[in-house]
Amino acid sequence: MNRAREELDRYRETLEEVSSRFVDVATKARQRREDPKPEPEVMLATSIGERVEGLLQVENVADRLEELEEELGDREEATFRIVEEVIKGELKVKGDLPLHKRIDYAVRIGLAVLTEAVVSAPLEGIAAVEIRERGTGHRVVDESEPPHEEPKLVCTECGKEVDPENCYLAVKYAGPIRAAGGTAAALSALLADYARQVAGLPRFNPDDFDHDLVGRYVEEVVTYLDKVGSFQYNPSEEEVELVAKNIPIEIDGEPTEEVEVQGHRDIPHLPNQLRGGALLVICEGICQKAPKLIKRVEKYGIDGWEFLEKLVNKGSDDEEEGEEEKTKIKPNDKYMGELVAGRPLLSHPSAKGGFRLRYGRARNTGFAAVGVHPSLMYVTKGFIVIGTQLKVERPGKAACVLPVTEIEPPVVKLRDGSVVRLDDPREAKELVEKDEIEEILDLGEMLVAVGEFIENNHPLVPPAYCPEWWVKEVPDVVKVIGLRKNLPNDVFEKLKDVPLKRLVKEASRLSGNGNNLDGFLNGPVKVARSIVELVRKEVIPRLSSPERMSVEEAIELSREYGVPFHPKYTFLWHDVKPKDVDELREALEVAGSEWGNLRVEFENDGEIKRILEDLLVPHRLEDDTIVVEEPWASALLAQLGYDPESGEFREQDEDLDYLLDYLVIRDETCRYVSKLAGFPIREKAPTRIGARMGRPEKARERKMSPPPHVLFPIGIAGGNQRDIMKFHRGESEDTDRVEVCYRICPECDRLVPYRVCPFCGTETVQYCNRCDEPADECDCEEPDPVVRADIERNDDPYSSLPVRELVRRAEEEVGTTDTLKGVKGMTSRLKMPEPLQKGILRAKRDLFVFKDGTLRFDCNDCPLTHVRLKEVGLTPFKARLLGFERDINGDPVVSEDQVVELYPQDVVLPRKAAEWAVRVCQYLDDLLRKYYGLEPVYGVEKPEDLIGHLIVTLAPHTSCGVVGRVVGIADINCWYNHPIINAARRRNCDGDEDAFMLLLDVLLNFSRLYLPDKRGGLMDAPLVLTAVVDPYEIDDEVWNMDVCGDYPLELYRKALEYADAGEAEELIERLEDRLDLPRGLQFTHDTEAIDLGPTVTRYSRLEKMEEKLEEQLDLARRIRAVDESDVAKIVLDSHFLPDIKGNLRKFGRQKFRCSRCNAKFNVPPLSGKCPRCGGDVLLTIYPATATKYLEPAKRLVEEFGTHDEEWRTIASEVELLEEEAKTLFGSDHSVSLKKFFGET
């Protein structure tokens, strides 16, 4: 443990040291040139408190939060105390603030702490926290003098002073509140109410208004669900009304949709449009998370939230019904609801032939990622590949799918009638390439970690019978059989559930309670000792290699000791009826007389063939004969009760009921076969999981649309490609005016929109465009820092942008390029452009900049805790340099075949990302040398040179980057991350994608001044940087990831009883148990290679939707667990028909655009020409786009449209849509701008 601690400490120190060294390099560089600020604009933070300060630009939070956490021992409780201290003015986060600002900061700080200060919701998700006047909703501010001890509340509408008793508190939410998640969104409302109470403000009462505010909330939710989309939880109208009537603060919001309410309009302080952020807080927050809120309300003694009890109690009837259904889980078809054309359905809910649930976590699964056999990826024709998202029936909603070879593979029927188990992925690939697979009988096992059930609060369900369960069960069954044979029934009942290791002690206790020491009471101890001795000396040694046990050994073990049959050789008897078993016994013919050397034959009868296929018995056809060969022949005969020596079937063992009951074998056929065999035959696959393809895997450079090399405005002067070099060379006839930062170089006396003049090196002066005075001398109420300047040089040096001179200057320093793509205009507030030198160097390396000045690569997230060196291009020498001195067995690292445990911030890049990153490193070295005049730092020539370098990882909905270390390169189309760094970004691995950047790129080139000046502009930007991750300060979802090497027998027994997931928490080791030292993690299953399987989904490789749809239906025809007619029906209902309807509706409401300058028009000019540039004005939605799914829909109707009444209804709907399209576009489906307005 000391070694592990020392290794982790060295790792963290290295991350900190390298990060600090790069900060020094970036600081030195930025001080030399024209960057927006002379120092890196990303704050390195070491704790949640520091991240809060960097995110919200406040102070004094970090130290106080640390003190309160130490004092209270609970971060959430400390958060409420922070809120209280900020409002009371005891904690000054921004100097002396008036009351309304203290409340605003308090709520934002509280939300930031609750979300680990990672997401942008505290900045972007809350538009405002306002004090408002009762009855009017007018905003009220505190105009008291500092230090603001007695607030003076004044209405901003009329200027009158307002009595605090005539006020209430409102939180105005925006769309990005979604990034916080449902629980944090709900808690933000609770925090706001706590702030209200501390501030002494009355509660919100909707009855104070002349308008029906409660009805407005109800109408908004109903309208949103009808016209926009759905929420994770869609509350009833009664639930929304309950919340709206009783919530102590007003849940308001910015308009996020164009859709407007119709019944409750024109309320003075509310917009008519739907307020998506507010609705999300109500639906996914307060309504869905009411049970969690109640716990906080009770814990912190917050009044006014008693209505939550009614929200929680509404489900009591369902819960009682659930108790009655304790022995089974109903199929759940929610995952099928939004089936997309071209993305296959793999299995109907809980369908025979679907995925067989197996408990376990491989080194590349867990944390919302599941494992399937790589052969499955091939037999699905490459639709499912490494990193593809699956929408699943249970335990969660979605998961990333990854290859695991230590689970059972799919079973298929070939075109020659053979049934084959595809243990070898290479064989599967070959069969697919030759098109020899006729039907996929079974998808194989899906490996799901128990922690997923805990995290999703899903009841445990019986898993597939597997070797790791069997190994633990065999000694226990030997114990039970021994006790039953040798002890009276009452004593047996008392001892049968006692674990083997405590058996002798418990037997001694029982014996000591008796009176007749010479009688049977001494029996339990003797029997217990003999059983323990038998298990220790004879049974356990035979269980050392369960995966490699032969069928002969398995039969001998079961017949000798009466233990359950080995799962590898157990067939799916629960998928057939007892009469089917009898048919097999009657029809079979056996050749051979000893186990392991048998052959079973049947006549090629259709019914017998069906039974064998349902059982998944591998077999082949020889003319008109079905042939089952070893090892499956012996396995089948043993389970049917056949004795090869006598050539007869054994008599049924009617005394097995006690053992079958003890083992909780409920299935009728399994019980019947067990009695035939003379030993227990477990249900092989009691739980099936339905699934469909979700998002494809992804590994792609992030590009804006259209992609620029540099954030420099060129308007239309660069043509459609925005090519600055084209303008510079005089090849463009266009000119334009663009908005840029109004900064004047005092030395050159002209407009230079940079902090430092690139021509003379003088620091420029910011001016106000309203008064033409320097900003520090400006008296304007709202200074305007932007000027509209000519691209061409004019007579006014203050209003012309010297583009050609800037290009020439850049070429002198860094060389030239044929093409240099800029942007049409800057979207930031100050509109300060990037230096052109950076763009030229990017263009030379074929790199494109993102909105914040960085270069990014997006990848789907996949988890990885351990890696085999050769999988990722690591040599033993390089591995030791990275701190991997010993493998998972404690042996020194000397071979590339060894497996090592990753450190918490390690990542493995896909090769295409590594190749991109090589170009980025070379660009950064060029930038340091040619532009900043410094020595290069990377010296990277090939992808493997990246190993050991630091990157910044970032999730789209967050504002906090997390430093990661590259430890390898793999040939995949996603990336592997240690789960801890994933959780530090508040992401799991259910199909989400994140970005990475080179660390120096972020420090050198990122600037807040480049970010768009609009709601959401601060999202997906590394405002703060975490160099070292504290496992206590990450998304606690990952804490439930199991990190044990195996599961105890008790867990499987709990699963057989459908126990609550919470009962598993104490049975397995989870990451939560190792937060102090997250090292020494284990996994239950290994895999041959983390890159074994196809890497690019067929969905992405097929270009036309018709091809994707046909392949989807073809796969549906081949998968036994799928009904192709249902697939077609769902595709129409969830994809084609909604799209056709929506597109036809949008066509009539569309905007128009200029083909030249891309100007937008709600109503096009009558001339059809753009008044700005003279370009042609075009439609934005064309008939071909609006009707693109009409023909595929018609073809589906033609093929399936007469199946049933539901299909006939769909056919009628398609026919009506076709008529509507003809009415709009005519039979040729073509519309010009003139035709759009009815002109000829």
Task: Note the pLDDT of residue 320.
Answer: 39
pLDDT, one tens digit per residue, over 563-610 is 999 999 999 999 999 999 999 999 999 999 899 999 999 999 899 999
Strand, coil or helix: what is 1051? Answer: helix
pLDDT, one tens digit per residue, over 390-426 is 999 999 999 999 999 999 999 999 999 999 999 999 9
Task: Note the pLDDT of residue 110.
Answer: 96
CA distance 1037 to 182: 14
Q: In terms of DSSP H, where are the helices of 418-573?
A: 425-433, 450-455, 467-486, 489-495, 503-512, 523-534, 551-561
514-518, 1050-1054, 1073-1077: least confidently modelled range: 514-518
Tally DSSP H helices, then E strands, for the chain.
Answer: 41, 41
CA distance 124 to 188: 13
pLDDT, one tens digit per residue, over 222-244 is 999 988 888 989 999 999 999 99
Question: What is the arithmetic mean of pLDDT over 1205-1212?
Answer: 88
Q: Measuring CA to CA, which residue among 631, 648, 668 is closest to residue 549?
A: 631
Res. 191: pLDDT tops 90: yes
Residue 527 pLDDT class (50, 70, 90 cuts): very high
Residue 351: which residues within 8 A CB-CB, separation 6 or more? 688, 690, 1121, 1122
Contact criterion met (CB below 8 Å) for 61 and 1046: no
Q: Measuring CA to CA, which residue among 846, 887, 856 is closest to residue 869?
A: 887
CA distance 752 to 799: 10
CA distance 402 to 404: 7
Half-sphere exposure of residue 306: CA atoms within 13 angstroms, side-chain side: 2
SS3 content of the chain, % helix, strand, coil (to 5): 40, 15, 40
- Tell me whether the omega of the peptide bond preceding residue 151 falls within 30 degrees of 0, making it cis: no
Contact criterion met (CB below 8 Å) for 933 and 32: yes
CA distance 740 to 753: 6
Residue 300: count other Cβ atoms within 10 Å of its Cβ. 13
pLDDT more than 90, % of the chain: 82
Cα dist from 386 to 379, 702, 1121, whole Å: 14, 21, 22
Q: Measuring CA to CA, which residue among 529, 555, 531 is closest to residue 542?
A: 555
Per the model's pLDDT, the better-predicted residue between 735 and 138 turns out to be 138
Contact criterion met (CB below 8 Å) for 969 and 914: yes
Task: Note the pLDDT of residue 1227.
Answer: 66
pLDDT, one tens digit per residue, over 735-788 is 889 999 999 999 999 999 999 999 999 999 999 999 999 999 999 989 999 999
Strand, coil or helix: what is 140? Answer: strand
Task: Note the pLDDT of residue 130.
Answer: 97
Q: In terms of DSSP H, where are the helices of 869-910?
A: 876-881
Strand, coil or helix: what is 964? Answer: strand
Residue 589: count other Cβ atoms within 10 Å of its Cβ. 10
pLDDT, one tens digit per residue, over 826-878 is 999 999 999 999 999 999 999 999 999 999 999 999 999 999 999 999 999 99
Average per-residue pLDDT for the chain: 93
Per the model's pLDDT, the better-predicted residue between 772 and 337 turns out to be 772
Task: Note the pLDDT of residue 1225.
Answer: 80
Strand, coil or helix: what is 987? Answer: coil
pLDDT, one tens digit per residue, over 36-85 is 999 999 999 999 999 999 999 999 999 999 999 999 999 999 999 999 99
Residue 365: which residues within 8 A CB-CB, separation 6 or more? 371, 402, 404, 447, 449, 863, 1085
pLDDT more than 70, % of the chain: 97
User: Counting Cβ atoms within 10 Å, is residue 160 exposed (0-12), middle (13-18) or buried (19+)?
Assistant: exposed
CA distance 250 to 267: 14
List, in sequence order, every beta strand (DSSP E) within 52-203. 126-133, 139-142, 153-155, 167-173
Pairing of the two strands 167-173 and 250-253: parallel
pLDDT, one tens digit per residue, over 437-475 is 999 999 999 999 999 999 999 999 999 999 999 999 999
Strand, coil or helix: what is 975? Answer: strand
Res. 519: pLDDT tops 60: no
Q: Which amino acid is at 699?
A: A
pTM of the predicted protein model: 0.93
pLDDT, one tens digit per residue, over 268-306 is 999 999 999 999 999 999 999 999 999 999 999 999 999
Element (H, E) at 224: helix 213-227
Task: Note the pLDDT of residue 314.
Answer: 64
CA distance 618 to 411: 8
pLDDT, one tens digit per residue, over 162-183 is 999 999 999 999 999 998 989 9
- Tell me whether the omega of the peptide bond preceding residue 147 falls within 30 degrees of 0, making it cis: yes
pLDDT, one tens digit per residue, over 1213-1236 is 888 998 888 887 876 655 555 555
Sign for the CA dihedral angle at 77, 78, 81, 82 comes to negative
Residue 1204 pLDDT class (50, 70, 90 cuts): confident
Cα dist from 618 to 621, 1038, 1156, whole Å: 11, 40, 65
CA distance 948 to 177: 36
User: Counting Cβ atoms within 10 Å, is residue 521 exposed (0-12), middle (13-18) or buried (19+)?
Assistant: middle
Task: Note the pLDDT of residue 952.
Answer: 98
Res. 522: pLDDT tops 80: no
pLDDT, one tens digit per residue, over 880-919 is 999 999 999 999 999 999 999 999 999 999 999 999 999 9
Task: Note the pLDDT of residue 1116.
Answer: 96
Strand, coil or helix: what is 441? Answer: strand
Residue 742: count other Cβ atoms within 10 Å of its Cβ. 27
Q: Measuring CA to CA, which residue among 13, 49, 29, 28 is closest to residue 960?
A: 49
Contact criterion met (CB below 8 Å) for 541 and 474: no
Contact criterion met (CB below 8 Å) for 849 and 1075: no
Which residues are 169's β-sheet partners? 131
Distance between start and end Cα atoms, the chain:
84
Residue 783: which residues within 8 A CB-CB, separation 6 or more? 768, 770, 771, 775
Contact criterion met (CB below 8 Å) for 564 and 679: yes
Element (H, E) at 701: strand 699-701
Written as six digits, the tokens of 178 are 């979604």
Element (H, E) at 693: strand 691-693
Half-sphere exposure of residue 14: CA atoms within 13 angstroms, side-chain side: 17
Residue 93: which residues within 8 A CB-CB, separation 6 or more? 58, 59, 60, 61, 86, 105, 109
Written as six digits, the tokens of 997 are 């950047």
Describe the strand order of the beta sheet including 743-745 as a list of residue ranges.
750-751, 743-745, 765-766
Task: Note the pLDDT of residue 1223.
Answer: 82
